[in-house]
Amino acid sequence: MRVAVMGAGTWGTAYSMVLADAGHQVSLWGRSHEVVTAISRQHHNPRYLPGTTLPSGVDAHLDPALVLEPAELVVLALPSQTLRDNLLSWGESIPRGVPVVSLMKGLELGTMQRMSQVVIEVTGVPAGLVVVVSGPNLAREIAQHQPAATVVACIDESVARRVQEASLTSYFRPYTNTDVVGVELGGVVKNVIALATGMAEGMGFGDNTKASIITRGLAEMTRIGVAMGADPSTFAGLAGVGDLVATCMSPLSRNRTFGENLGRGMTVEQVVAITSQTAEGVKSSRAVLALAREHRVDAPIAEHVVAVVHEGLPPRDMVRSIMSRAAKAER
């Protein structure tokens, strides 16, 4: 197939490699002339995947229409808060009848919409053609061909299978699912939990603390998801606990690293200044908490992350506050 990947960041580039290794011709769209030129001429992305040689089946362009018009599959790999503006700019060039895949893990501020909902609303693409890919997929490891699995979710299982087959390689194994809400929410909430886990790491706490945050974070994620109609079993799989563990424990995780710097005493502004790529949980945390409150779900980790990231609460005060909550049964 001819595949358009809209977004030449780390994950967009790595997923392009997967698609090319699966036998497809992939065109990346990017805003940076430097990145686009390097991909097309030298077959590498020095800004986001330095030292990685891209397959010959990957090229790049600055013109979105040039990438989109011949596409038989469209992949969106953009920062979540820019998705709507981008789609309003070039969404009309998405060919009709082709699956549209979201690699994004965020909630839109203001609307609290998941990325698939934004795609459907702005472009008019039918829900049965909108696919979500989410799982323990740290881009740099995948670019090195380290074995990994993921979830391909669509309400139309046959479309999910098409995308599964299109991205199946010797090192990347996709599983299908029809629970779009659960798969998408898992990819969003885990970033918020990773911020909290990173703060614990930065403050010097050990594995007991981090395991506690991850486990209670999984319970929080599941409560929110079930309240929104997701299948609870989704959160026991790759898009739930799998992605949560990878994002919370790996130093390659942007959200964990962001939280770690906060735990070491840096301000949010200082961390933003040294962070070259988007930590989605920073912006999505408010939307996650708003969703939890809308559905009357107890979400203490999200609540405290918002207090630190957006309201200036020191991380150590966050720990005291969480640990002083009333004792209760585990659920």
3-state secondary structure of 56: coil
Give yes or no: 190 in active site.
yes
| Angle between helix 254-263 and 280-294 (nearest 10) | 90
Which of these is catalytic: 105, 190, 210, 283? Answer: 190
Contact yes or no for 182/239 (Cβ under 8 A): yes
73-76 sheet: strands from edge to edge: 58-61, 25-29, 2-6, 73-76, 100-102, 130-134, 148-153, 172-177
Task: State the Cα–Cα distance between residues 12 and 6, nearest whole angstrom.
Answer: 7
Helices in the chain by DSSP H: which ranges? Answer: 10-21, 33-37, 64-68, 83-90, 115-123, 139-143, 157-166, 180-202, 207-227, 243-249, 254-263, 268-274, 280-294, 300-311, 315-323
Amino acid identity, position 302: A
* Phi-psi region at 97: left, alpha or beta (left = phi > 0; alpha = psi -120 to 50): left
Contact yes or no for 176/152 (Cβ under 8 A): yes
Cα 189 to Cα 41, 57, 194, 236: the distances in Å are 38, 34, 9, 14
Q: DSSP string covering 168-232, please?
A: --SSEEEEEES-HHHHHHHHHHHHHHHHHHHHHHHTT--HHHHHHHHHHHHHHHHHHHHHTT--G
Catalytic residues: 190
